[in-house]
Amino acid sequence: MDECRFFEAQHLGFAYPGGPLVVRDVSLTAAPGRMTAVIGSNGSGKSTLIRMLAGLLKPRSGKILLGGIPFDAWEPRLRAREIAYVPQSTTTVFPFEVTDLVLSGRTPHTQRFRFESAHDREKALAALDAAGAAHLAGRSFTSLSGGERQMVILARALAQEPRLLLLDEPSSSLDLKHRAALIRTLVRLRKATDLSTIMITHDLQLTAAFDQVVAMRCGETVASGTPDEVLRDGVLRDIYSDPDVHAQRVGNQTLVWINL
Amino acid sequence: MKARVVRALAILTLVLVVSVGVGLAVGSQRIDPAGLFADSFSRTLFFRLRLPRVLLGLVIGSSLAVTGGALQALFRNPLADPYVLGVSGGGALGASIAIALGWSARVAGVPLVFAASFAGAMLAVSLVRTIARTGAVVLPGALLLSGVAVNLIAAAGVLTIEYLTDPSSALRILRWLTGSLDIVGLAPIGRMLWILAPAWLALLALSRQLNLLAIDEDTAATLGVNVRRCEAVVHTLCALIVGVTVSAGGAIGFVGLIVPHAVRMMFGEDLRIVLPGSLLLGAAFLILADALARTVLPSGELPVGAVTGLMGGPVFLWLLHRRQQFAAM
């Protein structure tokens, strides 16, 4: 197996029952330590795509290979050791304690009828720390704000110690400081553990830290490349169907804005 | 975690032991412990009536409470309970149909009434779930409303059947619809335990998966839980447990609502404590409720379902009030 393509999605297509195709012929690979951002307007199929990659939706066409083995052939528990998923938002009905919630990320690594060990607890606390949420440890999840919840859910995903982390607009409810902290955490984990990331985002500035940007429109990939290659006037105007979008280099980042 | 579980279960076991003591001690007839060995009337009273009644309370209380805890987690709805969701009603209807048709036979030791009651409970839980689920979410309001409707249909069904078979059987109808622990002898309890004990254990074995499902369905799926399969197994186990208990004690309400919440308040949200804790506390609760039902009136006794209903109804309303999001849906 080619280690550089341990995760490979080929020609994915998806339609909700009775509806039109919302994802059409999208291919994507993830290599160790590689960070991929998926951008696109609302309704362009990004969330559907990432839910397929997370195994939550079955593709109508195409296939997903993990370590060269078809997704369906993986035992769910073993697959959960490889891939973690951070949804757009999480609300729980029951007031679970933050630490317990993060500890639940250890489930794929613990034996079925055993309790989590002290080792698992350490991992959970370290993950909470890495996500910048150590101060939330004793709180109940239901008492947290949207942004705080997002940090805790990220911590749970990190406690899972995946090789591939899928994030669906994790930054939308985070303030400026925590958005930066999130990206720095991902960059640090890439260095430390070769973590591979696929993240959906509407915040184009954040994509500067990524190796690859995939742009989607109407369920299809319309551009793919380094942030410099994708964040260009022409490409962006096409994605957002708006002639007033502008992109400009400022220092080593690209700023994108729209004339109001 | 392990220490937390052991401590919680030790405390609740103690509570259960005390309630069994209370349940055995009180009643319309005082039984002198010393007389148990000397006096055959006391002995008969104790072993044929008092002890079976307390044990039936234990078995049914455990069953209803543990299914309540499991259903709450599965549906992510703190107001779920076998009675509220119409599962008990479905079971009662199934059982009364079987009795009306005269199916008193047993197949391989299992009374056909159990099977009919299980079928009714299974039908109810599937119906309620199908109606409440739209796409990937189970709507909490729709879940409770469809439970109410299933309950009303089942109650009307029981009423019709009892009326058709014997117009003077008002008492039997009451037994089905509110529940009672009146029982003679220990044999029926043995037949129940044969099915219930394995079902309890199976449910406890699923408590970690239920923990993840109680957080969020997508979470559970990405952490390696086979959500559909787990859901189907929990449905079946709950319908089985409720079916068997209802065919012996009728549809006793709200035990599955009150008890898991009490355990949560005392020991936190982890289902690995809530489920076994509910088994223990549910037994204690129903034994005490029945002790109250037997002694509260100067003469005669109340059906235990009236006591749990009078206690559980207000708890339900309080929970509903506290969880504004449910009132809104």
Minimal Cα–Cα distance from B303 to chain A, Å?
33
For residues A223 and A215, the answer to whether their CB atoms sit within 8 Å is: yes
Q: Which two tokens stand for residue B311?
A: 């206690």
CB contact under 8 A, A100 and B270: yes
d(CA A107, CA B208): 9
In this prediction, residue B213 carries a pLDDT of 92
Architecture of domain B2-328: Orthogonal Bundle (1.10)
Tally C-beta pairs within 8 A across A and B: 78
Q: Is the pTM of this model over 0.90?
A: no
CB contact under 8 A, B222 and A90: no
Highest mean pLDDT among B42-46, B162-166, B293-297: B293-297
Percent of chain B exceeding pLDDT 90 equals: 45
Residue A253: burial class (beta carbons within 10 Å; 0-12, 13-18, 19+)? middle
According to CATH, the topology of domain A3-82+162-258 is Rossmann fold (3.40.50)
CA B89 to chain centre: 11
d(CA B325, CA B319): 11
Residue A203: burial class (beta carbons within 10 Å; 0-12, 13-18, 19+)? middle
Sign, CA torsion B107/B113/B116/B122: negative
Helix, strand, coil share (%) of chain B residues, nearest 5: 75, 0, 20
Whether pLDDT at B327 is above 50? no
d(CA B67, CA B214): 14
In this prediction, residue A90 carries a pLDDT of 84
Minimal Cα–Cα distance from B209 to chain A, Å?
9
Range with the lowest mean pLDDT among A102-106, B17-21, B114-118, B321-325? B321-325
Minimal Cα–Cα distance from B240 to chain A, Å?
24
Residue B263: burial class (beta carbons within 10 Å; 0-12, 13-18, 19+)? buried
In this prediction, residue B288 carries a pLDDT of 94
Which value does ipTM take for this structure?
A: 0.87
Query: Which residues of chain A, if any, have pLDDT below 70?
Result: 1-4
Q: Per-domain residue ranges for chain A?
A: 3-82+162-258, 92-160
User: Residue A96 — φ and ψ, nearest 5°?
Assistant: -60, 145
Interface test with B, best of A93, A125, A153 (most B CBs within 10 A): A93
Mean of the pLDDT values across residues B75-99? 89
Question: Which residue of A lies nearest to B219 if distances are taken between CA atoms?
Answer: A85
Question: Which residue of B lies nearest to A107 if distances are taken between CA atoms?
Answer: B223
Question: Which residue of A lies nearest to B210 if distances are taken between CA atoms?
Answer: A104
CB contact under 8 A, B264 and A105: no
Percent of chain B exceeding pLDDT 70 equals: 92
d(CA A84, CA A164): 6
Q: Per-domain residue ranges for chain B?
A: 2-328
CB contact under 8 A, B222 and A92: no
B51-75 and B187-205 helices cross at what angle (nearest 10)? 30
In chain B, which residues have their Cβ closer than 8 Å to the Cβ of A79? Answer: 224
Whether pLDDT at B205 is above 90? yes
CB contact under 8 A, A94 and B214: yes
Nearest CA among A65, A90, A79, A86 for reference residue A163: A79
What residues of A are in the B interface, CB distance below 8 Å? 54-56, 75-80, 83-85, 87, 90-97, 100-101, 104-105, 107-108, 112-113, 115-116, 156, 160
In chain B, which residues have their Cβ closer than 8 Å to the Cβ of A90? Answer: 215-216, 219
In this prediction, residue A1 carries a pLDDT of 45
Whether pLDDT at B151 is above 80? yes
Q: Is B227 on the interface with A (CB under 8 A)?
A: no
Q: Output A143 or B140, whichever has higher pLDDT.
A: A143
Burial A2-12 (b: 16+ CB within 10 A, else e): eeeebbbbeeb
Whether pLDDT at B102 is above 80? no
CB contact under 8 A, B222 and A85: yes
